[in-house]
Chain A
Amino acid sequence: MLQILFYTAALVAVISTVLVITNANAVHALLYLILSLIASAVVFYLMGAYFAALLEIIIYAGAIMVLFLFVVMMLNLGTQTLDQERRWLEPSAWRWPTAMATVLLIEFLYVFLGGGRNPTGHIVTPKEVGITLLGPYVLAVELASMLLLAGLVAAYHLARPEVRR
Chain B
Amino acid sequence: MISAVDLIALLPLLILTGTAILAMLAIAIRRNHRLVFLLTVAGLLGALALVPMAANMTPRTVTPLLLVDRYALVFTALALAAGLVVVCLCRSYFGVRADQPEEVYLLILTALLGAGVLAAGRHFASFFLGLETLSVSLFALIAYPYRDERALEAGIKYLVLSGAASGFLVFGMALVYADTGTLEFSALISASSTLTIIIGTILIVAAVSFKLSLVPFHLWTADVYQGAPAPVTAFLATVSKGAVFVLLLRYAVAGGLGQAPALVNVLSLLAALSMLAGNLLALRQDNLKRLLAYSSIAHMGYLLIVLVAGSKVSGSFAAEALLFYLAAYFVTTLAAFGTITVLSPSDREAESLDDYAGLFHSHPWPATVLASALLSLAGIPLTAGFVGKFYLFAAGGLGELWTLLALLVVGSGLGLYYYVRVIFQMAKPSLDIAGKPTAPAPLEAHLVLVVLLVLLFGLGVYPGGVIDLLTMAALR
Chain A positions near chain B (C-beta within 8 angstroms): 135-140, 142-144, 146-147, 149-151, 153-154, 156-158, 160, 162-165
User: Which of A136, A143, A157, A162 meets B133, CB within 8 Å?
Assistant: A143
Interchain CA distance A138-B137 in the complex, whole Å: 22
> In the complex the two chains form, what is the Cα distance from A137 to B100 in whole Å?
36
Cα–Cα, bound, A137→B426 (Å): 54
Beta-carbon contact of B139 and A143 below 8 Å = no
How many Å from the CB of A80 to the closest CB on chain B? 32
Does more than half of chain B's interface fall in helix, strand or loop, or is it mixed? helix
Asked if B117 is at the interface of the complex by the 8 Å CB criterion, the answer is yes
B-side contacts of A140, CB under 8 Å: 65, 125-126, 129
Partner of B144, one of A144, A157, A160: A157
With A143-B117, A143-B126, A143-B133: A153-B24 Cβ-Cβ less than 8 Å: yes
Q: Which residues of B have CB within 8 Å of A135?
A: 1
Chain B residues with Cβ below 8 Å from A160 are 100
Among the stretches B106-114, B262-270, B377-385, the one at the interface with A is: B106-114
Report chain B residues within 8 Å CB of A136.
Answer: 63-65
Decide: A146 near B17, CB < 8 A? Known: A139-B63, A157-B140.
yes
Contact B65 A139 (CB under 8 A): yes
- CB <8 Å contact, A164 and B126: no
For B432, the chain A residues whose CB sits under 8 A away are none
Known: A149-B20, A150-B110, A154-B139. 16 other contacts (CB 8 A): A137-B65, A137-B125, A138-B63, A139-B62, A140-B129, A142-B17, A143-B129, A143-B133, A146-B133, A149-B21, A149-B110, A150-B107, A157-B100, A157-B144, A158-B140, A163-B99
In the bound complex, do residue A139 and residue B107 qualify as a contact, i.e. CB atoms below 8 Å apart?
no
Q: Is the CB of B126 within 8 A of A139?
A: yes
Q: Which B residues are CB-close (under 8 A) to A157? A: 100, 103, 140, 144, 146
Distance between A74 CB and nearest chain B CB, rounded to angstroms: 23
Q: How far is the CA of A160 from the CA of B144 in the complex (A)?
A: 12
**Quick check: is B407 within 8 A (CB to CB) of the other chain?**
no
Count chain B CB atoms within 10 A of each CB in A136, A143, A150 and give the residue with the most: A150
Task: State whether B126 touches A154 (Cβ < 8 A).
Answer: no
Query: B26 within 8 Å of A by Cβ?
Result: no
A50, B304: Cα distance in complex, Å = 44
Q: Which of A147, A154, A163 contacts B129 (CB 8 A)?
A: A147
A157: nearest residue on chain B (CB-CB)?
B103
Chain A residues with Cβ under 8 A from B103's Cβ? Answer: 153, 156-157
Query: A100–B472 Cα gap in the complex (Å)?
Result: 60
Is there a chain A Cβ closer than 8 Å to B170's Cβ?
no
Q: Is the CB of A162 within 8 A of B147?
A: yes
Could you tell me the distance in whole angstroms from the C-beta of A36 to the nearest C-beta in chain B? 14
A144/B137 in contact, CB under 8 A = no
- Chain A residue nearest to B130 in the complex (CB): A143
Residue pair B63, A147 in contact (C-beta under 8 Å): no
19 contacts between A and B (CB under 8 A): A135-B1, A137-B64, A138-B2, A139-B62, A139-B65, A139-B66, A139-B126, A140-B129, A143-B133, A146-B110, A150-B110, A150-B140, A153-B24, A153-B103, A154-B137, A154-B139, A156-B103, A158-B146, A163-B100
Residues of B within 8 A of A (CB): 1-2, 17, 20-21, 24, 62-66, 99-100, 103, 106-107, 110-111, 113-114, 117, 125-126, 129-130, 132-133, 136-137, 139-140, 143-144, 146-147, 155
Q: How many whole Å from A130's CB to the nearest CB in chain B?
A: 15
**Distance to closest chain B CB from A147 (angstroms):** 5
Closest residue on chain A to residue B141 by CB atoms? A154
Q: Are A150 and B63 in contact (CB under 8 A)?
A: no
Whole-angstrom distance between the alpha carbons of A151 and B136 in the complex?
6
A-B pairs, top 5 by smallest CB distance, nearest first, are A154-B140, A150-B110, A143-B129, A147-B133, A150-B137
Q: Known contacts A143-B133, A147-B129; is A165 also within 8 Å of B99 by CB?
A: yes
Chain B neighbourhood of A156, CB < 8 A: 103
Are A154's CB and B125's CB within 8 A?
no
**Alpha-carbon gap, A89 to B117, bound state (A):** 49
Contacting pair A150 B126 (CB below 8 A): no
* Residues of B with C-beta under 8 A to A151: 136
Most buried by A among B106, B132, B136, B147: B136
Task: Find out whether the CB atom of B106 lies under 8 angstroms from the CB atom of A153.
Answer: yes
CA A163 to CA B102, docked complex, whole Å: 13
Contact A162 B107 (CB under 8 A): no
List the B side residues contacting A150 at CB < 8 Å.
107, 110-111, 133, 136-137, 140
A143 cross-chain contacts in B, Cβ below 8 A: 113, 117, 126, 129-130, 133
A144 to B: closest C-beta gap in Å: 6
In the docked arrangement, what's the CA distance between A150 and B132, Å?
A: 10
Q: How far is the CA of A144 from the CA of B136 in the complex (A)?
A: 12
Are B65 and A149 within 8 A (Cβ)?
A: no
Say which residue of B21, B106, B136 sits within 8 Å of A147 (CB atoms). B136
Q: How far is the CA of A11 from the CA of B2 in the complex (A)?
A: 43
A162 to B146, CA, bound (A): 10
In the complex, what residues of A have CB within 8 A of residue B143's CB?
158
Q: How far is the CA of A123 from the CA of B125 in the complex (A)?
A: 22
Which residues of chain A come closer than 8 Å to B106, judged between CB atoms?
A: 153
Residues of chain A contacted by B136 (CB below 8 angstroms): 147, 150-151, 154
Q: In the assembled complex, how far is the CB of residue B205 from the closest CB belonging to chain A, in whole angstroms?
A: 23
B111, closest chain A residue (CB): A150
Assembled-state Cα–Cα distance A86/B383 (Å): 71
| Cα A157 to Cα B410 with chains together (Å) | 45
Q: Which residue of A lies closest to B129 (CB)?
A: A143
- Measured in the bound complex, the distance between the Cα atoms of B2 and A138 in whole Å is 9
Contacts of B126 in A (CB 8 A): 139-140, 143
In angstroms, Cα B382 to Cα A103, docked, is 71
Q: In the complex, what residue of chain A is closest to B120 when comparing beta carbons?
A: A139
Contact status A149-B129, CB under 8 Å: no
Residues A162 and B99 in contact in the complex (CB < 8 Å), given A136-B63, A138-B2, A150-B140? yes
